[in-house]
Amino acid sequence: MEGEIRKIQDLKAQLLKIGPFHPGKITTQYIRCGKKDCRCNHPKNPQKHGPYYILSYSIGKKTSTVFLKEHEVPEAQKWLEGYHGFKNTVEALVTAYVNLAKKGRWKMAGRHA
């Protein structure tokens, strides 16, 4: 079997095993609530509220943010890592098909890959 076609089949098999995943990144924020007498507004030693964990992501052109609870952060990180794996695999698959096309193997891909 041709190398590129083998590669395509391997990558497709990998895709079936991928998941769960989620796009985006998590940032941590500390905030001032705005209440005058609050500890977060202390003139010399302000203690801001937080940390707050914010997951921001885009799907197409739509950007969204979600507040995460602290206990959700480790699992969410795993999903974000999973997304990188998914993207890498998809990119490798696109590359493999493009390489196949460069070799003039349009029909070959349709039959075997």
> CB 32 → Zn ion: shortest distance, Å?
6
Give CA–CA dist 40/33, Å, rounded: 7
Give CA–CA dist 27/73, Å, rounded: 10
> CB 47 → Zn ion: shortest distance, Å?
8
What x-and-dash track marks residues 33-72 binding Zn ion by CB under 5 A? x----x-x--------------------------------
What x-and-dash track marks residues 17-36 binding Zn ion by CB under 5 A? ----------------x---
Task: Identify the DSSP state of 60.
Answer: T
Residue 87 in contact with residue 94, Cβ under 8 Å? no
Give CA–CA dist 28/49, Å, rounded: 11
Number of residues located near Zn ion, criterion CB under 5 A = 3
Residues that bind Zn ion (CB under 5 A): 33, 38, 40
